[in-house]
């Protein structure tokens, strides 16, 4: 992870990448017909890019995950702020958030398929629903960091409610929203892909499901490579900068910040 953000690329990281490629090529040669050669995956990828399929499906999936992410984040922010300010609200939402956080996404996908059928709304709904607890937890934790002593001091000095919000709560909230968005961005894309794969008629997930019927492993690998690229971009552009920024303030573990399938 530090290889790209650091000043130099570590030699053993590159060795690891080369080793992975070699292991892949070796298994492709020793398991012909099961594991596709790297070259076959490359040409599949090229074909997807040339026919425009890649950009079309990527656009559909990205749009869905962004829509779900924004709706879920807005709701999570709202509920999280309420829970952060007023402790009873925190306990009120605890059972719901606990259930959401520990329930398998696949079950929710099945429910959503029954409710909304196969279409664009279903993946957006699933993505939004699983963004809510991530944002909620981040906001609640962020508000907890607002020092009780600072609040006491503010009360002693009779700081106006407006000034309190502007100078104390808002900065804490902004950081929390940033963290929540960074963590949720990665999960949102996965949730969209999962929902599309199980029940949609377009998007990357759907394209992957199609390779199952065509038994086109090389094309599936090509789509996986595209997902990896999106994941790496999200990780490097959002999660890592936010995590390293936050590490100055508190111990944040970006790997296990959000643990979801």
Partner 1 sequence: MSNFWNARKVLPFLWMATGVVAFTVVWQLMSNSYGPLLVATPSETMVAVTRLLTSPATLAAFARTLGRVLLALGLQIVSGVASGVLAGLYPWVEDLLRPVIDALVAVPPVALTLLVILMFGSGDYQVAATALALGFPLLYTGTVRAVRSVDRSMLEMFRAFRLPRTTQLLVGYLPATLYALIPSILLATGLTLRLVVMAEVMVGGGSGIGQSLSEARVHMATAEIFAWLLVMAATVLMIEGTLLYLVKSHLLKWQARR
- Write out the residues near partner 1 by the rule CB under 8 A: 1, 3, 10-13, 15-17, 19-20, 34-35, 87-88, 90-96, 98-99, 102-108, 110-111, 113-115, 186, 189-190, 193-194, 197-198, 205, 208-209, 211-212, 215, 217, 220-221, 223-224, 227-228, 231-232, 235, 253, 255-256, 259-261
Report the nearest approach of partner 1 to the CB of residue 138 (Å): 17
Nearer to partner 1 among residue 156 and residue 259 (C-beta): 259
Written as six digits, the tokens of 238 are: 């959002």
Question: What CA–CA distance (Å, rounded) separates 25 from 37?
Answer: 6
Closest CA to 113 of 210, 192, 199, 196: 199
Nearer to partner 1 among residue 1 and residue 164 (C-beta): 1
Nearer to partner 1 among residue 136 and residue 189 (C-beta): 189
Report the nearest approach of partner 1 to the CB of residue 77 (Å): 19
Report the nearest approach of partner 1 to the CB of residue 145 (Å): 20
Written as six digits, the tokens of 103 are: 């329930």
Question: What CA–CA distance (Å, rounded) separates 152 from 191?
Answer: 42
Report the nearest approach of partner 1 to the CB of residue 221 (Å): 7
Nearer to partner 1 among residue 51 and residue 103 (C-beta): 103
Written as six digits, the tokens of 134 are: 């991530």
Tell me which DSSP letter residue 181 carries.
H
Nearer to partner 1 among residue 181 and residue 197 (C-beta): 197
Tell me which DSSP letter residue 203 carries.
S
Contacts of 182 (CB under 8 A, 6+ apart): 238, 239, 241, 242, 243
Report the nearest approach of partner 1 to the CB of residue 90 (Å): 8
Nearer to partner 1 among residue 130 and residue 177 (C-beta): 130
For the chain, the 3-state helix, strand and coil shares in percent, each to the nearest 5, are 80, 0, 20
Sign of the C-alpha dihedral computed for residues 144, 147, 152 and 154 taken in this order: negative
With beta carbons less than 8 A apart as the criterion, state whether 146 and 169 touch: yes
With beta carbons less than 8 A apart as the criterion, state whether 185 and 130 touch: no
Report the nearest approach of partner 1 to the CB of residue 194 (Å): 4
Nearer to partner 1 among residue 177 and residue 190 (C-beta): 190
Report the nearest approach of partner 1 to the CB of residue 177 (Å): 23
Question: What CA–CA distance (Å, rounded) separates 83 from 3?
Answer: 39
């Amino acid at each position: 992870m530090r290889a790209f953000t650091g000043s130099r690329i570590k030699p053993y990281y590159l060795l690891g990448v080369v080793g992975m490629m070699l292991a892949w090529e070796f298994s492709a040669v020793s398991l012909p017909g099961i594991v596709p050669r790297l070259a076959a995956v490359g040409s599949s990828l090229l074909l997807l890019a040339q026919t425009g399929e890649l950009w079309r499906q990527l656009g559909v999936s990205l749009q869905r995950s962004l829509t779900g992410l924004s709706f879920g984040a807005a709701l999570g922010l709202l509920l999280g702020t309420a829970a952060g300010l007023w402790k009873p609200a925190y306990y009120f939402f605890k059972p719901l958030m606990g259930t959401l956080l520990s329930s398998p996404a696949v079950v929710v996908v099945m429910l959503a398929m029954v409710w909304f059928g196969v279409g664009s709304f279903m993946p957006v709904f699933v993505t939004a629903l699983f963004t809510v607890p991530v944002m909620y937890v981040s906001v609640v934790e962020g508000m907890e960091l607002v020092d009780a002593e600072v609040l006491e001091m503010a009360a002693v000095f009779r700081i106006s409610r407006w000034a309190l919000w502007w100078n104390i709560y808002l900065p804490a909230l902004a950081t929390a929203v940033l963290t929540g968005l960074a963590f949720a961005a990665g999960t949102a894309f996965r949730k969209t892909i999962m929902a599309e794969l199980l029940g949609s008629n377009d998007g990357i997930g759907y394209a992957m499901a199609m390779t199952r019927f065509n038994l086109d492993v090389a094309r599936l690998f090509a789509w996986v490579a595209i997902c990896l690229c999106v994941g790496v971009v999200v990780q490097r552009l959002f999660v890592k900068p936010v995590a390293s920024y936050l590490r100055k303030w508190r111990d944040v573990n970006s790997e296990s910040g959000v643990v979801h399938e």
